[in-house]
Structure 1
Amino acid sequence: MLLFDLDNTLYPPERELFSLIDVRINRYMSEVVGIPAAEVDGLRRRYWAEYGVTLQGLIRHYRVDPEDYLDYVHDVDVASRLDPDAELRQALQQLPQRKAVFTNGSTGHAERVLAHLGLRDQFECIFDIRVAQYQPKPFAAPYHQVVAELGVDARDCTMIEDSQENLRTAKALGMRTVLVGAGPGADFVDVRIDRAAQVPTALAALPALPVSF
């Protein structure tokens, strides 16, 4: 089973789609929740450190409606940043394994991203931030829930991610790990690639450690 992260993994961070979401998160905190703008950055850093995502901090401390938050922050112009990726589509078509998206974002956002990349039909399902009651990666709960819903053993999964912390958890659960993008070597990263289209080469290299292309 191949588990793919979404943002900054299936498309490069240079597309700066997530920066649009970042702006929406700040606006939600200041304009909807009513947090003074000067406090937003500090709170976001604190919530990321303690809870993995801003949303969990807002749920716990401000009782925000998580669905309202997800709708608001993902209301971005995906079409302005993403185009169909024929190279990645061809790479995914080469892979005989089952494939799923596993993201800290929302399913709606993932559907839009995959549609604009021309990849939706390449994935059998999407697991989003809701899979473990809004508990995000890198906490273990959503990983456990994903493999349970798929009916697979974590040891039979490979996680493809741009976040090393998320890969650390995957490796601790027995998954093989592929880091997409730049980053220092780490013992929990099996293979590093520059872009998602190189996944077939990465999978062929496993379980050799470490490998970089």
Structure 2
Amino acid sequence: MTAPHRFRFLLCDLDDTLYPTHQGVMKAVGERISRYLVERLGVPPDAAPEIRRYYHDRYGTSMRGLMLHYGIQPDDYLEYVHDLPLTELIQRDPQLDSVLDRICLRKVIITNASREHAIRVLDILGVGHHFERILDIRDFGYHSKPHRVAYERSLRCLQAAPGECILVEDSLRNIAPARAMGMASVWMRNASIEMPTGPLPADLCIDDILHLADALAPLIGC
């Protein structure tokens, strides 16, 4: 079944979007980044978390800041920070599998993480077969969401126009530039994030990824 409207692609963020934040994957990644700063770069342990957060807030990922200021090798970094016991944190999700099966768009992962990490997560969740492609931080030229170049590179890879895409993201900061380019957006709002005042900064908002198909149905007609 194909969508009768203009949309062709569902661009899905990975971490904290396809599974709940409380499962702790990104918390574990943050701890690995701090450990990388200490073990690889000699940063004092008490300073590492602050440096990690500062670079993340300024550049979109801590890795980008470390590349610019410390000259790190990105592949070594990506392997180190994603060396996680994922099977202890997330598990197979048959309900998510069913939800994705109902959405009649071509599905692509778009992540600031590595392709290897994305494959592991999708495999554990049991939903990898729904996604025809994974676009990772390397595909973005080591730029990252929310920077516009990450979306421009993604669109070139897919040979798609912004108006043909719906972005599903847990980060409003990442949604804003995609929406400005003309993409539709679904904000996967985690429980710890308050609803902003004023107009909704996304086209749709859900608080559970299992609501995605129902939320999209009026937009895509399936």
- Would the TM-score normalized by the shorter structure come out above 0.5? yes
Q: Is the 8 A contact 1:102 1:126 kept in 2?
A: yes
Residue aligning to 1:184? 195
1:119 Cα deviation from its structure 2 partner:
0.5
1:90 Cα deviation from its structure 2 partner:
0.4
For residue 204 of structure 2, what is the amino acid of its counterpart?
V
1:105 Cα deviation from its structure 2 partner:
0.5
Residue aligning to 2:206? 193
User: Is residue 2:11 matched to residue 1:3?
Assistant: yes
Cα deviation digits, residues 24-49 of structure 1 (max 9, x gap) = 10100011111112221221232123
1:205 Cα deviation from its structure 2 partner:
3.8
CA-atom RMSD, angstroms?
1.3
User: Is residue 2:168 matched to residue 1:155?
Assistant: no
What is the alpha-carbon distance in structure 2 between the residues aligned to residue 67 and residue 101 of structure 1?
A: 19
Q: Which has the higher helix share?
A: 1
What is the alpha-carbon distance in structure 2 between the residues aligned to residue 181 and residue 30 of structure 1?
A: 32
Residue aligning to 1:165? 173
For residue 10 of structure 1, what is the amino acid of its counterpart?
L
What is the alpha-carbon distance in structure 2 between the residues aligned to residue 8 and residue 132 of structure 1?
A: 20
Residue aligning to 2:135? 127
Q: Is the 8 A contact 1:3 1:157 kept in 2?
A: yes
1:179 Cα deviation from its structure 2 partner:
0.7
Residue aligning to 1:140? 148
How many residues align? The count is 207
Matching residue within 68, 85, 88 for 2:76: 68
Provide the TM-score with structure 2 as the length reference: 0.89
Unpaired stretches in structure 1, ≥5 consecutive residues: 208-213
Residue aligning to 1:210? none
1:191 Cα deviation from its structure 2 partner:
0.8
For residue 142 of structure 1, what is the amino acid of its counterpart?
A
For residue 184 of structure 1, what is the amino acid of its counterpart?
M
Cα deviation digits, residues 39-82 of structure 1 (max 9, x gap) = 21221232123211110111111111000000000000110011
- Secondary structure in 1 aligned to 2:27? helix
Instruction: Give the stretch that moved more between structures: 112-121 or 180-189.
Output: 180-189
Give the percent of matched residue pairs that are identical in Structure 1 and Structure 2: 37
What is the alpha-carbon distance in structure 1 between the residues aligned to residue 207 and residue 140 of structure 2?
A: 30
Provide the TM-score with structure 1 as the length reference: 0.93
Q: Which runs of 4+ in 1 moved over 6 A?
A: none
Q: Is the 8 A contact 2:33 2:52 kept in 1?
A: no
Matching residue within 31, 42, 45 for 2:39: 31
Instruction: Give the stretch that moved more between structures: 67-76 or 43-52.
Output: 43-52
Residue aligning to 1:81? 89
Q: Is the 8 A contact 1:191 1:206 kept in 2?
A: no
Residue aligning to 2:24? 16
Cα deviation digits, residues 143-192 of structure 1 (max 9, x gap) = 01111110111111000010011111111110111011244244431111
